[in-house]
């Protein structure tokens, strides 16, 4: 008897694998940018606390850095959407 | 606020959510990555994002035309509003790029910002993505529509109503064929027959093709914007420094082997920026649209308002980021290495 006959719940279809892949792509791919944005914003807050007068400069550069970090999460999202809906 | 009012408000919100969950949900969303063709004019297919982008252009031109009629030195009304926007963008450009370059960069950067923010916010209009024509499931030409919902009328203009209020509350009916995309046509048709076998006489399995769709959910639109931005950045660099000095930044034979390697890396980064611009804008706006559809399916009425607020914010921020990054890359392109080194030494000494 195959393993699949003993435990029919272990059967995974093609489409099931597709959904797992899409979920993993977004989940794992969104972890690192989240940490990066957190560190970035934390450092920006520190700099702001030391020198409140430089607020426009700090805020502008912080948003710039966040855009770069967020782009990686967006790549992961696009891959997840492609896996889920195009393949 | 008295305690009674607070309790009443909380109860009201939950009641609204319950009503929304029971009878106002829409069918399972059909997410289409590529923009759908609405009409074919001769050999050119016109997609719904194209139509929306024309509307954005008409809106922008109309607004600034109205704002610049009978201009006065002391601005009031529309002219005041227009001047406010342009002044903010001008200060951004000049503040980041300096006086001389800022004036040169300002038109392109302002255009990018205004176009992207208007198209993002127009995508939140109630008419967009909900009003369209209903097309029956099955094969049309070379495209097989495999996902949709049960509609009562096919053809003509129809509206996705977020669950026509249904009583007694039931799960909205959607049709999803679980066949992979590369299955042969017979298999797909068989699955379609099986799924629609128990439909009543006047109900059809169909899918809604919206007439309007947010411009930046189309990869072509964001790619076009990114290419335009890249071309302008290169143009600014070459026109400021001359072709050979600008090319010398990337093919840096003077810096030895390390300099050559760094130059090649910078060249690759220039092209990677194209992809990055494209996918950043596309991903943010497309994900927002998907979030809307999914929330409509799961828990409408209250949570949708928060998603709407998020989308407003994200639309503005993405426009700002696109314009800002174009500006920053333009500044990098027009400053040569010696200038930036001299700047750094200056700052270190002082």
Q: What is the pLDDT of residue B59?
A: 95
> Which phi and psi (to 5°) does residue B335 adopt?
-95, 125
Check which CATH number belongs to the domain holding A62 and give it.
1.20.20.10
**DSSP string of B223-244?**
HHHHHHHHHHHHHHHHHHH-HH
B161 shares contact with chain A (CB less than 8 Å)? no
ipTM field: 0.72
Q: Are B288 and B314 in contact (CB under 8 A)?
A: yes
| Residue to substitute from B183, B287, B328, interface A, most A β-carbons within 10 A | B287
Predicted confidence (pLDDT) at residue A30 exceeds the cutoff of 70 = yes
Out of A64, A74, A85, name the one closest to residue B283 (CB): A74
pLDDT given for residue A66 in this prediction: 87
How high is the pLDDT of residue B168? Answer: 59
CB proximity B325 to A under 8 Å: yes
d(CA B296, CA A13): 28
Assign B68 to helix, strand or coil. coil
Distances (CA, A) of B134 to A39, A77, B150: 48, 29, 11
**How far apart are the C-alpha atoms of A39 and A64, rounded to whole Å?**
14
Distance from CA of B152 to the nearest CA of A (A): 26
Which residues of chain A make contact with B328, given a CB cutoff of 8 A?
Answer: 64
Q: How far is B324 from B225, CA to CA, in rounded Å?
A: 14
What residues form DSSP beta bridges with B136? B206
- Whether A10 is covered by a domain: the verdict is no
Nearest to B128 by CA among B165, B164, B159, B174: B159
Residue B297 confidence (pLDDT) = 81
Q: pLDDT tens, A35-84? A: 999 999 999 999 999 999 988 889 888 888 888 888 888 888 888 888 88
- How much is the pLDDT for A86? 73
Q: Judge: B324–A63 Cβ closer than 8 Å, yes or no.
A: yes
- CA separation (Å) from A44 to A65, B234, B318, B343, B349? 10, 31, 20, 23, 25
B210-228 exposure pattern, b = at least 16 Cβ within 10 A, e = fewer: bbbbbbbbbbebbbebbee
Query: Is residue B321 within 8 Å of A69, Cβ to Cβ?
Result: no
B290 inside 8 A of chain A by CB: yes
Label the pairing between strands B44-47 and B147-151.
Answer: unpaired
CA angle B300, B313, B125 (to 5 degrees): 55
Q: Is B10 left (phi over 0), alpha (psi -120 to 50) or beta?
A: alpha
SS3 A34: helix
CB contact under 8 A, A78 and B282: yes
Peptide bond into B346 cis (omega under 30): no
Task: Give the mutation candidate from B272, B283, B317, B329 for the A interface (greatest A CB count, under 10 A).
Answer: B283
Closest C-alpha among B313, B301, B325 to residue B121? B313
A4 in a domain, yes or no?
no
B323: helix, coil or strand? helix
Residue contact A78–B325, C-beta within 8 A: no
Q: Which 91-120 residues of chain B touch chain A by CB within 8 A?
A: 95-96
Q: Which residues of chain B have pLDDT under 50?
A: 162, 350
pLDDT for A78: 82
Please indicate whether, in this complex, the C-beta atoms of A86 and B33 are within 8 angstroms of each other: yes
Q: Is residue A3 one of the residues assigned to a domain? A: no
Q: In chain B, what residues touch A85 (CB-CB under 8 Å)? A: 31-33
Query: Nearest CA to CA, how far is A65 from chain B (Å)?
Result: 10
Find the domain containing A24 and state its range.
Answer: 18-85
Assess A74–B contact: CB distance below 8 Å, yes or no.
Answer: yes
Q: Where are the alpha helices (DSSP H) in B45-177?
A: 48-67, 78-97, 99-122
pLDDT for B162 equals: 46
Q: Does A57 touch chain B (CB under 8 A)?
A: no
Which residue of chain A is at minimal alpha-carbon distance from B323?
A: A64
A12 found inside a domain: no
Quote the number of domains for chain A.
1
The widest CA-to-CA distance across chain A, in whole angstroms, is: 74
A50: in domain: yes
Q: Using a CB–CB cutoff of 8 Å, tell me whether B324 touches chain A.
A: yes
Do B324 and A14 make contact, defined as CB atoms within 8 angstroms?
no
| pLDDT score, position B152 | 62
Query: A72 at the B interface (CB within 8 A)?
Result: no
């Amino acid at each position: 008897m195959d393993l699949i006959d003993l435990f029919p719940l272990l059967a995974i279809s093609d489409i099931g694998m597709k959904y797992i892949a899409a979920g993993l792509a977004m989940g794992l791919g969104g972890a690192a940018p989240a940490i990066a944005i957190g560190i970035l914003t934390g450092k920006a807050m520190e700099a702001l606390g030391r020198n409140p007068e430089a607020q426009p400069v700090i805020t502008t550069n912080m948003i710039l850095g966040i855009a770069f970090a967020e782009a990686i999460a967006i790549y992961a999202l696009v891959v997840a959407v492609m896996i889920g809906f195009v393949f | 606020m008295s305690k009674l009012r607070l309790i009443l408000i909380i109860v009201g919100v939950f009641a609204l959510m319950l009503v929304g969950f029971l009878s106002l949900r829409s069918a399972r969303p059909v997410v289409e990555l590529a923009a759908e063709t609405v009409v074919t004019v001769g050999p050119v297919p016109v997609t719904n994002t194209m139509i929306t982008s024309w509307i954005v252009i008409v809106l922008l031109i109309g607004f600034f035309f109205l704002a610049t009629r009978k201009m006065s030195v002391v601005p009031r009304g529309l002219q005041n509003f227009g001047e406010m926007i342009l002044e903010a963008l001008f200060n951004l450009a000049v503040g980041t790029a300096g006086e001389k370059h800022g004036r040169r960069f300002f038109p392109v950067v302002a255009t990018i910002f205004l176009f992207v923010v208007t198209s993002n916010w127009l995508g939140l209009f109630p008419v967009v993505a909900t009003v369209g024509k209903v097309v029956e499931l099955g094969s049309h030409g070379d495209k097989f529509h495999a996902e949709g919902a049960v509609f009562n009328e096919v053809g003509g203009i129809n509206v996705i109503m977020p669950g026509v209020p249904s009583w007694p509350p039931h799960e909205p009916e959607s049709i999803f064929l679980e066949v992979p995309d590369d299955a042969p046509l017979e298999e797909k048709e068989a699955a379609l027959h099986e799924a629609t076998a128990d439909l009543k006489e006047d109900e059809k399995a169909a899918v809604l093709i919206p007439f309007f769709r947010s411009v930046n959910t189309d990869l072509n639109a964001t790619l076009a914007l990114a290419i335009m931005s890249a071309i302008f950045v290169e143009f600014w660099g070459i026109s400021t420094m001359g072709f050979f000095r600008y090319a010398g930044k990337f093919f840096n034979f003077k810096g030895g082997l390390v300099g050559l390697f760094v130059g090649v890396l910078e060249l690759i980064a220039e092209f990677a920026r194209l992809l990055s611009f494209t996918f950043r804008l596309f991903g943010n706006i497309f994900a927002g649209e998907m979030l809307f559809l999914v929330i409509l399916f799961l828990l409408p009425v209250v949570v949708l308002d928060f998603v709407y607020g998020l989308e407003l914010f994200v639309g503005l921020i993405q426009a700002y980021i696109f314009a800002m990054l174009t500006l920053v890359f333009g500044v990098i392109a027009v400053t040569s290495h010696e200038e930036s080194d001299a700047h750094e030494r200056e700052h270190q000494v002082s």
